[in-house]
Amino acid sequence: MLHFQPLELLSQDKTSAMFKAHNLKLLLTEDAYINTNHYFGDLLSTRKGIGVEIIFVVDDIQSHYQHVINTQVKLESELTKQDWGMLDFRLADPDGYYLRITSRKIS
């Protein structure tokens, strides 16, 4: 079983944010700051999330679900108890990323 450390925000400015978890660092940068000669430069104008699912495991699934409901974001699926023992709900962002917000395993 994989165990992940929580992400810690190391730094943030107008264009990017750096996170850390144990020996992993994750840098997120806005597309507008990627140079056209970058490896992904030709892809900047394409839809990015096709075929990508990102799963967020949260401690309080009910409050996250209520927050999304309050923002009136269109859900792909309502809060549902899955056969594998977790609660989750799902949505797709405008770039096409499929987002699953899930609880830890329910005992």
CA angle, 54 then 52 then 11, to 5°: 50
CATH of residue 76: 3.30.720.110
- Pairing between β-strand 77-81 and β-strand 87-92 as defined by DSSP bridges: antiparallel
**Which pLDDT band holds residue 26 (cuts at 50, 70, 90)?**
confident
Number of independent structural domains in the chain = 2
Looking at residue 65, the DSSP 8-state letter turns out to be: H
pLDDT in tens, 32-87: 777 777 787 777 777 777 778 889 888 889 999 999 999 888 999 999 999 999 99
Report the distance separating Cα 103 and Cα 61, nearest Å. Answer: 5
pTM: 0.64
Give the range of the structural domain holding residue 33, as residue numbers without chain letter. 1-46
CB 33 within 8 Å of CB 15: yes
Q: How far apart are CA 106 and CA 62, in angstroms?
A: 13
Q: Which tokens sit at 5?
A: 């450390």
Indicate whether 73 and 103 sit together in one domain.
yes
Same domain, 107 and 56: yes
